[in-house]
């Protein structure tokens, strides 16, 4: 099948057009600055040069129209007819407690997505806009929603409840949801394949380390705990987010600096983390460069980042009663030899032994030493492929159900 995978943000849409048989992205691209007169569409067909189109794209509907047009275009397109788009798969950030798996978008699902807007006020509205735009331009094409939260929804109550009055959980659905679920699911499945063992028999810790970062304990193929919480702010230190912190800190700063709720939110989400601590950069490559040049603040930021990952690894080993594999993914997890080295340092007492040479290699996926009890891996994530494969499966199931009726 050929699936258009969309990740719709408030002013941007990322897309990939994936052939699920070959697993290739036949084209990928992005529309940026939606709502402005100088919006930009960049588009790269498989094996060809990237092209860039600048124009007025005032809303998501027009952006989707452009994406379809460029997929169809004579010189840069990859299809001849809209009908070649078999289905559309959307990344949807928040499925709340409603969705524990990917779903076909129906009126009922749209209603539930709208009910979850309060939980993800920045992310779910553009996801919904994207679905509506596709409905306008491809009214007969099935659409599926694949949720960042779904993989974690069934974690045990002891992992998802916060220590606040239970009524508040019931009233406002305040609990740990966790994010990056498609990535944690994908790399844990890949790890099992690489080990040649059934996922059901494995205890895996997956560390998705990118600009946003989270870590998950995956026991028998199920997420049993994860570091992001009610929002993607909790847990690990991130590029611009503070991660775990005594909640009183923010109340104290608000009092001292006279910050509004919105300013406090911006402080924790945009000016903290690696950029906040280092004052240099939120980007790990730049930060590592600054460390190499002797910046103490950059070194502090790097140390807090890796120390926190190490602490989570230890706690998830305790939570699962052991671990078979530790997987690094995301831009930092896949590429930073320094981060992986620092996280795995002095962990041999837990059976974690990194092979320093393999860690430096760009090709090796299994990077632990031969005798390491815990297998350490770097596995490139592919969230778009997961969305495409889930969408294909749902659409095929629907076709079978229709043929039975």
Q: 309, 306, 377, 385: which is closest to 339 by C-alpha?
A: 306
Q: Which helix (H) or strand (E) holds 208?
A: strand 203-209
Residue closest to ligand AMP when measured from CB atoms: 331
331 binds ligand AMP (CB under 6 A): yes
Nearer to ligand AMP, 124 or 278 (CB): 278
Nearer to ligand AMP, 265 or 335 (CB): 335
> Which strands make up the sheet holding 325-329, listed edge to edge?
222-226, 213-219, 203-209, 325-329, 375-378
336 binds ligand AMP (CB under 6 A): yes
Are the beta carbons of 203 and 169 closer than 8 angstroms? no
**Residue 341 C-beta: closest distance to ligand AMP, Å:** 12
126 binds ligand AMP (CB under 6 A): no
Nearer to ligand AMP, 102 or 329 (CB): 329
- Compute how many other C-beta atoms are within 10 angstroms of the C-beta atom of residue 163: 5
**Residue 287 C-beta: closest distance to ligand AMP, Å:** 7
Interface mask (CB under 6 A) for ligand AMP, residues 183-212, using x and -? ---------------------------xx-
Are the beta carbons of 49 and 67 closer than 8 angstroms? no
Cα–Cα distance between 151 and 101 in angstroms, integer? 7
Only segment of 43-51, 168-176, 284-292, 314-322 that touches ligand AMP (CB under 6 A):
284-292
Are the beta carbons of 3 and 384 closer than 8 angstroms? no
335 binds ligand AMP (CB under 6 A): yes
Only segment of 28-36, 120-128, 297-305, 329-337 that touches ligand AMP (CB under 6 A):
329-337
284 binds ligand AMP (CB under 6 A): yes
Long-range contacts of 36-43 (CB under 8 A, 24+ apart): 36/11, 39/63, 41/66, 41/67, 41/70, 43/70, 43/76
Nearer to ligand AMP, 335 or 369 (CB): 335
24 a catalytic residue: no
Cα–Cα distance between 24 and 7 in angstroms, integer? 18
Residues 6+ apart with CB under 8 A from 325: 191, 195, 202, 203, 204, 205, 374, 375, 376, 377
298 binds ligand AMP (CB under 6 A): no
Cα–Cα distance between 322 and 256 in angstroms, integer? 44
Q: How many residues bind ligand AMP (CB under 6 A)?
A: 12
Q: Which of 148, 225, 324, 390 is catalytic?
A: 148
**Among 285, 307, 357, 360, interactor with ligand AMP by CB under 6 A:** 285
Strands 143-147 and 87-92: parallel
Interface mask (CB under 6 A) for ligand AMP, residues 210-249, using x and -? xx---------------------------x----------
Q: Which residues are catalytic?
A: 148
Residues that bind ligand AMP (CB under 6 A): 210-211, 239, 283-285, 288, 330-332, 335-336
């Amino acid at each position: 099948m050929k699936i258009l995978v969309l990740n719709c943000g408030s002013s941007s849409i990322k897309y990939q057009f994936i052939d699920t048989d070959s697993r290739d992205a036949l084209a990928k691209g992005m529309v940026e600055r939606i709502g402005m007169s100088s919006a930009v569409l960049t588009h790269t067909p498989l094996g060809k040069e990237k092209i860039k189109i600048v124009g007025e794209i005032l809303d998501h509907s027009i952006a989707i129209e452009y994406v379809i047009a460029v997929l169809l275009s004579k010189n840069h397109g990859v299809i001849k007819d809209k009908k070649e788009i078999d289905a559309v798969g959307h990344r949807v950030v928040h499925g709340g407690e409603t969705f524990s798996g990917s779903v076909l978008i129906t009126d009922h699902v749209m209603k539930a997505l709208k009910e979850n807007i309060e939980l993800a006020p920045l992310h779910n509205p553009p996801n919904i806009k994207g679905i509506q735009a596709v409905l306008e331009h491809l009214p007969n094409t099935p659409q599926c929603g694949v949720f960042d939260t779904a993989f974690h929804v069934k974690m045990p109550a002891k992992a998802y409840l916060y220590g606040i009055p239970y009524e508040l959980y019931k009233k406002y659905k305040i609990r740990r949801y966790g994010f990056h679920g498609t990535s944690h699911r994908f790399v844990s499945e890949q790890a099992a394949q690489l080990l040649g063992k059934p996922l059901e028999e494995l205890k895996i810790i997956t560390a998705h380390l990118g600009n946003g970062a989270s870590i998950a304990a995956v026991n028998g193929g199920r997420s049993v705990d994860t570091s992001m919480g009610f929002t993607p702010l909790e847990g690990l230190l991130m590029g611009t987010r503070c991660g775990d912190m005594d909640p009183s800190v923010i109340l104290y700063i608000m009092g001292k600096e006279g910050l509004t709720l919105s300013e406090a939110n911006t402080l924790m989400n945009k000016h903290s983390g690696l950029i906040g601590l280092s004052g240099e950069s939120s980007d790990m490559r730049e930060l590592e460069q600054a460390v190499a040049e002797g910046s103490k603040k950059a070194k502090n930021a790097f140390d807090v980042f890796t120390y926190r990952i190490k602490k989570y690894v230890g706690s998830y080993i305790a939570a699962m009663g052991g671990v078979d594999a530790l997987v690094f993914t995301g831009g930092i997890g896949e590429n930073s030899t320094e981060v992986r080295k620092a996280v795995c340092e002095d962990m041999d007492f837990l059976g974690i032994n990194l092979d320093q040479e393999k860690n430096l290699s760009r090709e090796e996926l299994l990077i632990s030493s031969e005798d390491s009890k815990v297998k350490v891996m770097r596995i490139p994530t592919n969230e778009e492929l997961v969305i495409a494969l889930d969408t294909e499966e749902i659409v095929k199931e629907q076709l079978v159900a229709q043929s039975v009726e």
